[in-house]
Amino acid sequence: MAETRTVARTGVRRTPTTYVLRFVVAAYLFLLVAWPVSLVVVHTFEDGFTSLEGILSDPDVVTALWLTVRVAVIAVVINTVFGVGMSLLLVRQEFPGKRLLSALIDLPLSVSPIVVGLALVLVYGGRNGWLGPTLESAGFRVIFSTPGIVMATAFVALPLVIREVVPVLHEIGTEQEQAARSLGASSAQTFRRITLPAIKWAVVYGVVLSLARSLGEFGAVKVVSGNVLGQTRTATLMVEEKYLNFDQQGAYATAFLLAMVSVACIVIVAIIRPKEERR
Amino acid sequence: MSTTNTLDRTSGVGLGIAMTWFSLLVLIPLSAVVFTAAGGGWDLFWRTVTGEQTAAAIRLTVGQAALVTVVNVVMGTLIAWVLVRDHFRGKALLEVLIDIPFALPTIVAGLVLLALYGKDSPLGIDVANQRSAVFLAFLFVTLPFVVRMVQPTLAELDKEVEEAAASLGASRVTTFRRVILPSIVPAITAGAALSFARGVSEYGSLVLLSGNLPFRTEVTSVRILSSIENNNLAGAAATATVLLVISLAVIVLLDVLQRRVSGRG
């Protein structure tokens, strides 16, 4: 009897449990993510477009936004070149210490942003860092300046491209590449004509994720930037500053702009993903 | 064959450049933290991390991260289950919701949570400056990890084995416990490890939410930052080393798990 009942149950897709589970999951995600995030939108548009117009006509905010965009783009370019190169090395080459390196690459994802900032200050700090004083006497300032912000941002987003590209490289194998090589293609040609088209979507996916992560970095940037208004204050630092100075409207509006970009990144990825799998 | 086994000149140069950058950006700075912590000797290190306020911060951080990880193991597996096995309108929206905490800037995450669970909460729940604020912030930022690790494993499971178990008289609960659970445990553990590591290292989402009250809501990252701001870099490095050891332990655990999973496949 038990047998027929369970067969019937697995045969029919939907049982009351299905609906209970569905409801629990939807309610959990609504309370934890959807509702809070939507409130930021509500707060931003409470007085129509005035608070958005307010921050966009504030030169300090505009400077901060530009700095954030510039830093994020540089960090993403560095991480994309480094990431694709490193993925090729990790998947296609053999060298001593490869396994250790492959494990260490993931480290930036689980290191506290404050520790990242501290680590960079200890090496590149102008007064008593390991390399900082030498670099600074050569006229190159890292900490409390844009290069430091770029490094902090590149650090925290470092593994994202690699994590996307490595599995795809494993999956496509080396047959086509070897065929191209045996037909006389140079390694540059093989990469451009065979490998790159195959990993294209993984790279795009990694770039979008890195961009979202880079635009939003806060803790590491806070430590290395010095948070100087109009010079090294990024958009995320601006949100904190505005909130602590009781400019809630400004804080919500700036947060709204940042949230928009990151949600856009997620949606783009959600659209790209199935396309990549169809290929 | 030879091209995959030995480095040709281009790859050699590439590896050199990549390693130089990786060392300058990650390895040397992180070693600097450990060296600075060790520089003051074991006594100073031990006194710093067992100092009342720092020890309280570490206890709070590890405790709340562990608690959140337990919730994530249950809820994350449940969410992954529903996303893989159930089909309904609006599922794509839930998929997007899962990724939002990963992409949202942490300071914005704090502000977002404050909007619903802060002073002017429409629900009448105010966790601002409470210990539960730390729990809530951790819960938000660690949401994707278990879900995203378990989801692909669950999708690949062979349904025939479950049907066989069911046809042999196993109840749904038994099928889940005996057939499904064993094959997703490595994925759950990996997600739990990532979620724990992320919780322990969290900073941005707490800044506006938790009030950073010493002995009550001050987490380890905040403690390190105040040491940095007081120009006590040795103290900051000592506390940071504790966090680094936790991160490294997680990395090692993940590596072992991944080898076990791929070894089985």
Mean pLDDT computed over B239-260: 85
Least trusted range by pLDDT, from A63-77, A192-206, B55-69:
A192-206
Mean pLDDT computed over B222-239: 91
Task: Please judge whether B228 and A119 are an interchain contact, meaning their C-beta atoms are less than 8 angstroms apart.
Answer: no
Least trusted range by pLDDT, from A67-71, B85-89, B194-198:
B85-89
Mean pLDDT computed over B203-217: 88
Distance from CA of A145 to the nearest CA of B (A): 16
Residues of B in contact with A2 (CB under 8 A): 169, 171
Residues of A in contact with B107 (CB under 8 A): 216, 218, 236-237, 239-240, 255
pLDDT band at A276 (very low <50, low <70, confident <90, very high): low
Query: Residue A251: which of B15, B111, B243 has the nearest Cβ?
Result: B111
Kindly state the greatest CA–CA separation across chain A.
Answer: 85
Is B162 part of the contact surface with chain A (CB cutoff 8 Å)? yes
Residue B122: the pLDDT is 83
Residue A165: the pLDDT is 92
pLDDT band at A6 (very low <50, low <70, confident <90, very high): very low
Query: What radius of gyration do chain A's Cα atoms show?
Result: 24
Token pair 């996916």 is found at A205
Is A66 part of the contact surface with chain B (CB cutoff 8 Å)? no
Least trusted range by pLDDT, from A23-32, A154-163, B14-23, B211-220:
B211-220
Task: Please judge whether A130 and B28 are an interchain contact, meaning their C-beta atoms are less than 8 angstroms apart.
Answer: yes
Q: Model confidence over B14-61: pLDDT tens digits?
A: 899 999 999 999 999 999 999 999 887 888 888 888 888 999 999 999
Task: Please judge whether A213 and B103 are an interchain contact, meaning their C-beta atoms are less than 8 angstroms apart.
Answer: yes
CB B169 within 8 A of CB A6: yes
Is A191 part of the contact surface with chain B (CB cutoff 8 Å)? no
Mean pLDDT computed over B91-97: 89
Domain boundaries in chain B?
1-39, 41-264
Percent of chain A residues past pLDDT 70, beyond the cut: 93
Which of B49, B83, B86, B111 has the most A C-beta neighbours within 10 Å, making it the best mutation to test the interface with A?
B111
Tokens (6 digits) for B233? 């870099």
Calpha distance B99→B145 (Å, rounded) = 9
Residues of A in contact with B254 (CB under 8 A): 103, 106
Mean pLDDT computed over A70-98: 92
Give CATH for domain A50-278: 1.10.3720.10
Residue A272: how many other CB atoms lie within 10 Å: 15
Calpha distance B255→B186 (Å, rounded) = 11
Is B228 part of the contact surface with chain A (CB cutoff 8 Å)? yes
The yes-or-no verdict on residue B264 having pLDDT over 60 is no
Question: What DSSP designation does A194 have?
Answer: I
Q: Is the dihedral of CA B34, B39, B45, B51 positive or negative?
A: negative
Mean confidence (pLDDT) of chain A: 86
Distance from CA of A47 to the nearest CA of B (A): 17
| Torsion angle (degrees, nearest 10) of CA B24, B26, B27, B33 | 110
Domain boundaries in chain A?
1-33, 50-278
Mean confidence (pLDDT) of chain B: 87
Is B195 part of the contact surface with chain A (CB cutoff 8 Å)? no
Tokens (6 digits) for A33? 């993510």
Q: Model confidence over A124-182: pLDDT tens digits?
A: 987 888 898 889 888 888 888 899 999 999 999 999 999 889 988 888 888 888 888 88
Calpha distance B133→B211 (Å, rounded) = 9
Task: Please judge whether B207 and A259 are an interchain contact, meaning their C-beta atoms are less than 8 angstroms apart.
Answer: no
Give CATH for domain B41-264: 1.10.3720.10
The yes-or-no verdict on residue B139 having pLDDT over 90 is yes
Residues of B in contact with A43 (CB under 8 A): 115
Q: How far is CA A178 from CA A165, A197, B4, in A?
A: 19, 16, 10
CB A143 within 8 A of CB A121: yes
Q: Model confidence over A249-261: pLDDT tens digits?
A: 889 899 999 989 8
CB A117 within 8 A of CB A224: yes
3-state secondary structure chain B: CHHHHCCCHHHHHHHHHHHHHHHHHHHHHHHHHHHHHHHCHHHHHHHHHHCHHHHHHHHHHHHHHHHHHHHHHHHHHHHHHHHHHCCCCCHHHHHHHHHHHHHCCHHHHHHHHHHHHCCCCCCCCCCCCCHHHHHHHHHHHCHHHHHHHHHHHHHHCCHHHHHHHHHCCCCHHHHHHHHHHHHHHHHHHHHHHHHHHHHHCCCHHHCCCCCCCCCCCCCHHHHHHHHHHCCCHHHHHHHHHHHHHHHHHHHHHHHHHHHHHHHHC
The yes-or-no verdict on residue A277 having pLDDT over 60 is no
CB A183 within 8 A of CB A105: no
